[in-house]
Structure 1
Amino acid sequence: MTTPPTLLIVEDEILAALSLHAGFEEAGYQVMDLTSRPEEALAAARERKPDLALVNIKLYGRNDGIALAVDLKDMGIPVLFISGQPNRAVAARSVAVGSLAKPYSVDDMIAAVGYLLARLSGDGSQPRPKDLEVFDEDLPEVA
């Protein structure tokens, strides 16, 4: 039996975070504690390295989601920006594997995460979800 992928969700909108948490757990993912603070997200990531971090750009605390993404990337954790600020996400493309702009549905997010995790593991067979912007050129190309 394989272990389901582990996700870290860093989101300042609590209803969106709770909705994602429930949707991902229902889809079979392991979801770490939810947080809206970069410092808490880093501590959680150090304790239990997630397979992917979903990070909003606007966060509470001293740093924003872009600064958090830099730290997570340095730890070897890929980041998907989930943001209502797509221009800032594109500007920070060097620290994330992709971006999904708000508003999105939970189903859109599950499709995007599944696609990215497959690509990160070398499986390029899935079609890219329509609203997902992929930044990381090192990910295998879709066949």
Structure 2
Amino acid sequence: MTVTSPTKSAKTLLIVEDEILAAMALKGELEDAGYIVMDLTSRHQEAASAARECKPDLALVNIQLQGRDSGIELAQELKAMGIPVMFISGQITRARTAQTVAIASMPKPYSAMDLVLAVNYLLGHLGGDDTFQRPAGLEVFETDLAPDGV
């Protein structure tokens, strides 16, 4: 079963993930749901360059990137560009300590369905639609995205 995007016009996403197979699977699921995945990258500078060029609606960023690159530092740069970030990481404690630079996090491992629902929820709320329920596993940092400040 495929979940579709909550928006009428296709939203663009940037995936920054050091595990290429996970990134490719994630890309396929999100495209099946109606999103445009503008780029897959595993490095900070590549991701920042792609974001400057195409300005995605949401970036899905792993905390640990290839080499010594940091997803947290990348999230700071993306936030300064006005691009919202959702961490996708097994390092949930690090994601919580960096919650000022991201709007939410989804812990690994996650199901493709839960991740698509999380993207739908976040983009829906960013677009002013608060009818979506927050999916299990999604930790929201921006209080205006979470119902009742949760």
TM-score normalised to structure 2 length: 0.90
Residue of structure 2 aligned with 1:131, choices 137, 140, 150:
137
Find the aligned partners of 1:122 and 1:139 in 2 and give their Cα distance. Answer: 9
Give CA deviations for 1:13-38 in whole Å, capped at 9, x if unaligned. 11110000111111110001210001
* Structure 1 ranges of 4+ moved more than 3 A: none
Find the counterpart in structure 1 of residue 39 from structure 2: 33
Q: Secondary structure at the match of 2:86?
A: strand
Residue of structure 2 aligned with 1:21, choices 23, 27, 30:
27
Find the counterpart in structure 1 of residue 122 from structure 2: 116
Give CA deviations for 1:86-126 in whole Å, capped at 9, x if unaligned. 00000000000000000001111100000000111111111
Alignment of 1:42-53 (within 5 A): 42-53=48-59
Asked if the contact 2:91/2:107 (under 8 Å) is kept, the reply is: yes
Query: Residue 37 of structure 1 aligns to which amino acid in structure 2?
Result: R
Find the aligned partners of 1:125 and 1:20 in 2 and give their Cα distance. Answer: 24
Is the counterpart of residue 90 in structure 1 residue 96 in structure 2? Answer: yes
Find the aligned partners of 1:68 and 1:129 in 2 and give their Cα distance. Answer: 25
Query: Residue 60 of structure 2 aligns to which amino acid in structure 1?
Result: L
Change (3 A) 1:10 1:47: same
Query: Residue 7 of structure 1 aligns to which amino acid in structure 2?
Result: L
Find the aligned partners of 1:55 and 1:82 in 2 and give their Cα distance. Answer: 6
Find the counterpart in structure 2 of residue 77 from structure 1: 83
Is the counterpart of residue 66 in structure 1 residue 84 in structure 2? Answer: no
TM-score normalised to structure 1 length: 0.94
Find the aligned partners of 1:33 and 1:99 in 2 and give their Cα distance. Answer: 20
Asked if the contact 1:122/1:139 (under 8 Å) is kept, the reply is: no
Is the counterpart of residue 104 in structure 1 residue 110 in structure 2? Answer: yes
Asked if the contact 1:11/1:59 (under 8 Å) is kept, the reply is: yes
Asked if the contact 2:13/2:39 (under 8 Å) is kept, the reply is: no
Q: Secondary structure at the match of 2:40?
A: coil
Find the aligned partners of 2:10 and 2:41 in 1 and give their Cα distance. Answer: 21
Find the aligned partners of 1:88 and 1:111 in 2 and give their Cα distance. Answer: 23
Q: Secondary structure at the match of 1:33?
A: strand
Q: Secondary structure at the match of 2:14?
A: strand
Find the aligned partners of 1:134 and 1:12 in 2 and give their Cα distance. Answer: 23
